[in-house]
Amino acid sequence: QQPVQSPQAVILREGEDAVINCSSSKALYSVHWYRQKHGEAPVFLMILLKGGEQKGHEKISASFNEKKQQSSLYLTASQLSYSGTYFCGTDMNRDDKIIFGKGTRLHILP
Amino acid sequence: DAGVTQSPTHLIKTRGQQVTLRCSPKSGHDTVSWYQQALGQGPQFIFQYYEEEERQRGNFPDRFSGHQFPNYSSELNVNALLLGDSALYLCASSYGTGNYVQYFGPGTRLTVT
């Protein structure tokens, strides 16, 4: 039931774009995206709910394909501060039991 | 506005001992969830407390127990510690239930020797 994230790791140069994908084998109610820097707490980026509602930062965009149980996080014009590990978490039953993927490590080079 | 706080920051325990970790939710939040994060892995859901009751539980043994107090703060207790319990324990708070945004605390790093 753990969502699968891809790619596992990516290296970009500042200003380049990145897409991080999250897929589940089960029907989802919501997808949650977090970024975690080494030694720090995960920081909320975006929540996407079944039915199209989204809540999150203005500079972060994401999509949720309910039919395919897939979500993608879009990072455009990446900045050095975007470096970290990105986790997607999924909730299948609207019961706040969020299951996180293994993460995608993003490294931005100057 | 204080965010989620956790104590202690680091803890070293011996196998077989018991440990208590503490969490104070973000101001205005009434729901607390606990996660275990092993090195290089995503957080794993342990359980969630709302209105002083365990509302949801992940696949963790009964050695893991918790409590929520009337002021919404929470404790995570782990009995009979195993080497495999070494991890970062994260607390996250939210307002209400039903997929509201969860805000994470800095975590407690537990090392079992």
pLDDT digit string, tens, across residues A2-42: 999 999 999 999 999 999 999 999 888 899 999 999 989 99
* Chain B positions in Cβ-Cβ contact with residue A29 (cut-off 8 Å): 99
* Chain B positions in Cβ-Cβ contact with residue A96 (cut-off 8 Å): 31, 33, 48, 55-56, 94, 97-99, 102
Across the interface, whether the CB atoms of A49 and B106 are under 8 A apart is answered no
A58-82: pLDDT as tens digits: 678 899 998 899 999 999 889 999 9
Across the interface, whether the CB atoms of B99 and A42 are under 8 A apart is answered no
Across the interface, whether the CB atoms of A99 and B45 are under 8 A apart is answered yes
In A1-110, the DSSP E strands lie at: 4-6, 9-13, 18-23, 30-36, 43-49, 54-56, 61-65, 70-75, 84-91, 99-100, 104-109
Across the interface, whether the CB atoms of B45 and A87 are under 8 A apart is answered no
Q: What is the dihedral of CA A86, A103, A88, B66, to 10 degrees?
A: -110
Asked if the model's pLDDT at residue B8 lies above 90, the reply is: yes
pLDDT score of B100: 77
Where does the pLDDT of residue B1 fall: very low under 50, low under 70, confident under 90, or very high at 90 and above?
low
